[in-house]
Amino acid sequence: MTPAQLRMARSALKVGVRELAEMAGVTTATITRFENERGGLNAVTAQKLKAALTTAGVTFLDDGQAAVGDGVSFVPKDSK
């Protein structure tokens, strides 16, 4: 999961940092740091966030993977 994916997932669910932190059992500081690209996530924290978001209906896509149903894709201007 990338910081952009986490921001987009929260936006799609219309949940704030505090709500996601409660859903995933992590701190708000961890989410904020990661989303602002000021630090990474350890494997346990990444799994907690991904599980909480997936349970809420988010599907994470790998590069080149197509969506099923409505969705958006983001390609940063400085890539590809």
Q: Is the pLDDT of residue 76 over 70?
A: no
The pLDDT of residue 18 is above 90: yes
Q: What is the pTM of this model?
A: 0.82
Q: What is the mean pLDDT of residues 34-48?
A: 97
pLDDT in tens, 56-70: 988 887 777 777 766
1-80 fold: 434 Repressor (Amino-terminal Domain) (1.10.260)
Q: What is the DSSP letter of 67?
A: P
Write down the pLDDT at residue 64: 75
Closest CA to 13 of 67, 75, 47, 59: 59
